[in-house]
Structure 1
Amino acid sequence: MNEKDWLIIRTVWQYKNITRAAEQLFTSQPALSYRLKQIERKLSVQLFEENGRGLAFSAQGRYLAQHAETVLAELQLLKTTLQNLNGPQQGELRIGVSSNFAAYCLPDLLHQFSQQHPGISVRLVSGLSEEMYIRLQRGDVHLALVKDDYGWKEGKRLVNEDNYYLISRQPLDLAQLPHLPQIKINHGGHITRLIERWWNASYSTAPHITMNVDKLEVCLAMVERGMGYAIVSSYQPLAESLFRVPLFVGDEPVKSRTWLLYRHASADAAVTLPFVELFSEYR
């Protein structure tokens, strides 16, 4: 099936009349009828039913006609995107990023991106991964850098992977951990579940949480002053003076994974694809 075949099916479906469809396609009625027979033979289908009341599509024909709209729209989007990619990329790129990745990993990447693509302006929003994923689903952002792939069915790329550690100012007696003060940072739902899985595999009692904080900087400052221990990932720089113990469930380390999520087919592909390509050699 080529583009002309899909256009023929859509036009005949639209007019429900071979003669009028032929006029719209600037061809003759016999030529159009012959092309329709070729499509039927090629796909081993029957496009029309005999009902004595004019042209009526079969179930197979109706399905192909409805699918034709999607195919032709995607082909047009592909042509437009290829034309836009042929010249300097321009436009606005909207990105949603998990807070810690935005603070510790993204600045150098965005600087590199702006140097390579000065015509693309970036609008950035950061927050919890769940919030950024919702923004992607709604179309508020073109791309999301988040801590889970959320079962996303379109474009995705693992861009960062780090271990989780217990950190403290003094060496820890792990057997006494449930009784020691924990400084808990709001990691978001997915990471919280990972840490809870590790805790429940290791201890039968709940942790002794004495502080709940929303910023990594606050958490680290408290740990460095001996106010308690914390659980953090390793992609941010940690003070050399801090003791750290990697987390394992069985033989598997507990890891922080950052995913880049995006759509394969998008009217904004001319600005999203250059950013996706930025991660081809990242990590």
Structure 2
Amino acid sequence: MDKKDWRILEAVYAEKNITKAAERLYISQPTLTYRLQQIEKEFNIKLFYRGRRGVDFTDQGEMLVNYAKDMLKQRQKIEELLWNSGNEIRGTLRLSVSRTFAFYRLPQILKAFNEKFPKVEFNVNTGVNIEVLHSIYQQDSHIGIVRGEHSWPGKVVTLMQENIAILSSKKVNLEGLPSMRRISYKTDPTLEMVIDNWWKDNFSTPPISHMNVDNVEIAKRMVFNGLGYCIAPSIVLEDNDELYKIPLKDSKESPIIWNTRILYREELLELEMVKEFVHFIQEYHQY
């Protein structure tokens, strides 16, 4: 087996479907099937059984998949060490990033970093915070960028702080909020909890919510058009947004702050591209 076979086993195991695995790997299904048959012949085992719902790996097949995953990680480590031994900053930087930060901030950061270090490539995965944390715990990513409060045993650096605010197209009074339409959106559970707790501390009735949209950007567009208000972190506000903003405050009248943090393992700073990115993104947010 070689690197291609390791990736084949990893993809088939993840997809549990030959057709989907072939699509993921950008190879034909007959080619994929042939390689799987060759692997079975090489080790004289049955990798999996086909069923109506896909494929079920045998115990021996799972052992080989775990071996393939380990070998891919080992190869990745040696590639990074070899890249690190030269005079140039190069390699593939693996990032796992909160969706909201990825939407509003990440493209500009990566563009600026790429202009400074053109030989660094990016492998970026976006998701909710729990997915980001899982990625860095599993060492699938060098760096995670999360929002809110989370437990992480490695290095934690606060990147930016922002208010959570009521956004509306016209001035509103807090007292009248329970009688107004609220536009809800899918977001991270930790942010939902902060907003829900604030509401319960200030009102005895639930909000009137007739709209529940897919993301905060859609919610903001609805607010622009006077269809209601939404509660969101201030990262969603851009220079040309003409919206009224009322920051949420806690019981002590202090603004409720929403943090964005970068998480990583300190030993990864031995990789020059990781060290440079950590320094770069901190400096970027100071200006």
Structure 1 length normalisation: TM-score? 0.66
AA at the equivalent of 1:247: L
Q: Is the 8 A contact 1:166 1:246 kept in 2?
A: yes
SS at 2:236 equivalent: coil
Q: Is the 8 A contact 1:130 1:189 kept in 2?
A: no
C-alpha displacement of 1:169: 1.6
The whole-number CA distance in structure 1 between the counterparts of 2:220 and 2:83 is 49
Tell me the residue number matched to 1:93. Answer: 93
Q: Is the 8 A contact 1:198 1:254 kept in 2?
A: no
The whole-number CA distance in structure 1 between the counterparts of 2:102 and 2:241 is 23
Distance 1:211-1:270 versus aligned 2 partners, 3 A rule = same
C-alpha displacement of 1:266: 3.4
AA at the equivalent of 1:193: M
The whole-number CA distance in structure 1 between the counterparts of 2:281 and 2:131 is 22
How large is the RMSD of aligned CA atoms in angstroms? 2.4
More divergent stretch after superposition (222-231 vs 140-149)? 140-149
The whole-number CA distance in structure 1 between the counterparts of 2:146 and 2:87 is 30
Map 1:158-177; keep pairs closer than 5 Å.
158-177=158-177
Map 1:134-145; keep pairs closer than 5 Å.
134-145=134-145
Tell me the residue number matched to 2:71. Answer: none
C-alpha displacement of 1:184: 1.0
Map 1:13-162; keep pairs closer than 5 Å.
84=84, 87-162=87-162
Deviations 1:183-242 (A, max 9, x none): 012220111121122112111222122111222221111111111110112123355532
AA at the equivalent of 1:265: E
Tell me the residue number matched to 2:275. Answer: 273
Distance 1:117-1:240 versus aligned 2 partners, 3 A rule = closer
AA at the equivalent of 1:133: L
Tell me the residue number matched to 1:247. Answer: 248
AA at the equivalent of 1:244: K
AA at the equivalent of 2:254: E
The whole-number CA distance in structure 1 between the counterparts of 2:236 and 2:83 is 40
Distance 1:83-1:186 versus aligned 2 partners, 3 A rule = closer
Distance 1:241-1:114 versus aligned 2 partners, 3 A rule = closer
C-alpha displacement of 1:96: 1.0
The whole-number CA distance in structure 1 between the counterparts of 2:244 and 2:269 is 49
Q: Is the 8 A contact 1:89 1:271 kept in 2?
A: yes
The whole-number CA distance in structure 2 between the counterparts of 1:112 and 1:240 is 24
AA at the equivalent of 1:270: E
Deviations 1:70-115 (A, max 9, x none): xxxxxxx9xx969926621221111111112111111121111111
The whole-number CA distance in structure 1 between the counterparts of 2:157 and 2:269 is 20
SS at 1:279 equivalent: helix
Q: Is the 8 A contact 2:187 2:215 kept in 1?
A: no
The whole-number CA distance in structure 1 between the counterparts of 2:187 and 2:110 is 23
Tell me the residue number matched to 1:257. Answer: 259
AA at the equivalent of 1:109: I
Distance 1:268-1:189 versus aligned 2 partners, 3 A rule = farther
**Structure 2 runs not aligned, ≥5 long:** 1-76
Distance 1:225-1:178 versus aligned 2 partners, 3 A rule = same
The whole-number CA distance in structure 1 between the counterparts of 2:169 and 2:237 is 15
Q: Is the 8 A contact 1:81 1:267 kept in 2?
A: no
SS at 2:145 equivalent: strand
The whole-number CA distance in structure 1 between the counterparts of 2:270 and 2:93 is 8
Q: Percent identity?
A: 27
**Structure 1 runs not aligned, ≥5 long:** 1-76
Larger CA Rg, structure 1 vs 2: 1
C-alpha displacement of 1:171: 2.0
Number of equivalences:
205
AA at the equivalent of 2:281: F
AA at the equivalent of 1:269: L
SS at 1:241 equivalent: coil
Deviations 1:126-185 (A, max 9, x none): 121221111111222111111035121211111111111101122223212122111012
The whole-number CA distance in structure 1 between the counterparts of 2:270 and 2:97 is 18
The whole-number CA distance in structure 1 between the counterparts of 2:150 and 2:85 is 30
The whole-number CA distance in structure 2 between the counterparts of 1:267 and 1:85 is 14
